[in-house]
Amino acid sequence: MSKSISLLGSTGSIGRQALEVSEVLGLRLAALTANRSVELLEEQCRKFHPALAVCMDGSAAGTLKIKLADTGTKVLSGMEGLLEAVMMEETDTVLTAVMGMVGLRPTLAALKQGKRVALANKETMVCAGELVMAAAKQYGGEIIPVDSEHSALFQCLRCSEDRGEVKRLILTASGGPFFGKTREELEEVTVSDALKHPNWSMGAKITVDSATMMNKGLEVIEAMRLYEMPLEKISVVIHRESIIHSLVEYCDNAILAQLGAPDMRLPIQYALTYPARTHGPARELDLLQCPALTFLPPDEENFPCLALAKRAAQTGGTATAILNGANEVAVANFLAGKIGFMDISRRVEKALSAVPVVQDPTLEDILSADAAARQAAI
Ligand code: MG
């Protein structure tokens, strides 16, 4: 069980819920980091008294330093600050709730110190999953997933000690706000339509990823890396109700599932209390009030991002970093109103065709593939 946490991305949706969980569990926050939300970060520092606060943005860090001058909290900026937050002596767990590739170096640094990483930053596993898993094995760090599907798989996988007994990992997907729409209809959807997720309240980038189904594609790759499973052993099923968070099918055809109200505080908490379970703030699921549970196949025709992610996973090497980098740029451009919804998959496809793939990549290969993909997706 975690005692002292460095929380990377404390002002985002997962970060704020992680603080709620930490408060209920009475956990110490050693460090809080944000991009540039100075006011909220100041408020959080005054409440949780971390030894260190970090803003990625240099001028935001300057403002925060002045605001926190009367407190005992030290303020740093940028990647150096993030790495210092991760490597603090008192930190036993690093919760990475930052968005995108920026989480990669801090994750590797935490694992190299044998710390627990509560991983809510799927892009890290997508781009550099093999490097991350190798670092965890070599230095004795552990990775506990926070993503609800991967937490569900993690919980269901505890029932067997032999990975060879696993026949299939089944990821559930809500289908997002546009499930059932045709390609013509999808060409016309707006940013505000895309931000209306039916079941989960999340940040803008992941909400758009859910609408395109890229989120599920990234999660397929994340599951391959975390559980060291080939693509053929992972499937996706649309489950509109988001009550079953994922399932594991074993070789005897038993299927184990994890159910719960759609509430991220539960997987966040489990990543911090594992292997124990404790009382916490997550909502209860009342089975008698629960809607009928339905299952449908995903529509890869009208939602090409899932197929693109599988293609990148099959290619391997830096292909998944290219997929991710291109998607980050395309989603940012969609949110900025510069491109249409269906252009997201077109930009990703363009980058996947344009950027050469390196197999068995080093960290540098991954970072340059990411940079090339971002260029190619503009
Ligand atoms: Mg998820």
CA of 20 to the centre of ligand 1 (A): 19
| Structure token pair of residue 365 | 């290969």
Q: Give pLDDT, residue 196.
A: 86
Prior bond to 275 cis, omega within 30?
yes
CA of 215 to the centre of ligand 1 (A): 7
CA of 238 to the centre of ligand 1 (A): 13
Q: What is the pLDDT of residues 165-187, one digit of tens each?
A: 999 999 999 999 999 999 999 99
Q: Give pLDDT, residue 101.
A: 84
CA distance 289 to 14: 27
Which residues of the chain register pLDDT less than 70? none
Q: Give pLDDT, residue 50.
A: 98
Q: Which domains does the chain have, with CATH numbers?
A: 4-145 (3.40.50.720), 151-371 (1.10.1740.10)
Q: Give pLDDT, residue 60.
A: 98
CA of 53 to the centre of ligand 1 (A): 27
Side by side, the strands of the sheet bearing 52-55 are: 74-77, 52-55, 28-34, 4-8, 93-96, 116-119, 142-145
Q: Give pLDDT, residue 199.
A: 77
CA of 342 to the centre of ligand 1 (A): 22
CA of 196 to the centre of ligand 1 (A): 16
CA distance 26 to 3: 9
